Structure 1
Amino acid sequence: MTERTDLDLKALRAKLTTHRDEMRADEASTAADRATVDAGDTAMGRLSRMDALQQQAMAQETERRRQVELKRIDAALERMEAGEYGACLHCGADIETRRLEFDPAAPLCVSCASETRGKG
C-alpha cells in the first residue's frame, strides 16, 4: 500500500487520541453507575430498586459500547503505525478522506460498510 498524501495523519491521530482520552475519562466517572445494585436493601422501595436496576443496565450497555469504540480507535491507531491507515479492511480501496475526517476510526469504505449493514 502506498502512503496516502491526501490525509493529514497528524490531525487524525490527534483527533483519535483526544476522543480516546475523553472516553476513558467518562469510563472512570461512570463506574459507580455500573456497580451492583443491592437487591436486599430494605430501605429502598421496590420501584426505586427497579429504577436502580434499569439505570445500572443502561450504564452497563453504555460501557459496552464505549469499549467497542475504544477498540475501534486503538485499531485505527495501530493501522496508522503500520502504514495501513486509510485503506478499507474488506476490499483494500482507499476510504474517502471526508469519511475519515468525520470518523477517523472508520475501518471500511462506504460501499463495504453499506454491504455489511445490509447483511445484519
Structure 2
Amino acid sequence: MTLSDDFLAHQGDELTALKERLTEELAYFREAAAPVTLDQAQVGRLSRIDAIGQQEMHKAAAVQTEQRLRRVLVAMRKLESGDYGDCDQCDEAIEPRRLEAQPEVSLCLRCQGASEGH
C-alpha cells in the first residue's frame, strides 16, 4: 500500500505539531520534577510527602513524554527518508488509520500484538 503525497504531508504537519506539544510538556514536567523545597508558609497547605509524591509523578510523566518525543523524531526522519508507514519488524505497510491515530507508531497491528504477547 502506497501512502499518498497528501497523506504524507498531513502526517508531517501532525508530527511537527506533536513534536512542539511534547517539547513543551517535557519542559513543564522537568521543571515540576525539580527537587522539592518547602518553605514554612507552604508546609500548612502541602505536606512534604505530598510534594515528593507529585515530584515522582512528574518525573514519570517526563520519562513517558521523552520516550514519545523520541518516537516522533524517528517518525519524522522516516518521513524525510521515504520509509514512513513501514513496519519496523515485518516491513509491511502500517494501516493509514493507525498512522492517523498515532502518527509516531512504528509497528503494524500484527507485530504490535506479537510484541505484547497477544
TM tier, smaller: 0.7 to 0.9
5+ residue gaps, structure 2: none
Moved more, 88-97 or 22-31: 22-31
SS at match of 1:8: helix
Correspondence 1:60 to 2:59: yes
Deviation of the 1:115 alpha carbon = 0.4
TM-score by length of 2: 0.86
Aligned-pair identity in percent equals: 31
Show the counterpart of 2:115: 116
Distance in 1 of aligned mates of 2:12 and 2:113: 25
Equivalent positions of 1:1-120 (< 5 A) are 4-5=3-4, 8-38=7-37, 43=40, 44=43, 48-118=47-117
Deviation of the 1:30 alpha carbon = 3.6
Aligned residue pairs: how many?
Answer: 115
TM-score by length of 1: 0.85
5+ residue gaps, structure 1: none
Q: CA RMSD in A?
A: 2.2
Code of the aligned partner of 2:109? V
Measured against aligned partners, the alpha-carbon deviations of 1:57-94 in whole angstroms (never above 9, x if no partner) come to: 00000000000000010000011111111110000101
SS at match of 2:84: coil
Distance in 2 of aligned mates of 1:28 and 1:87: 31
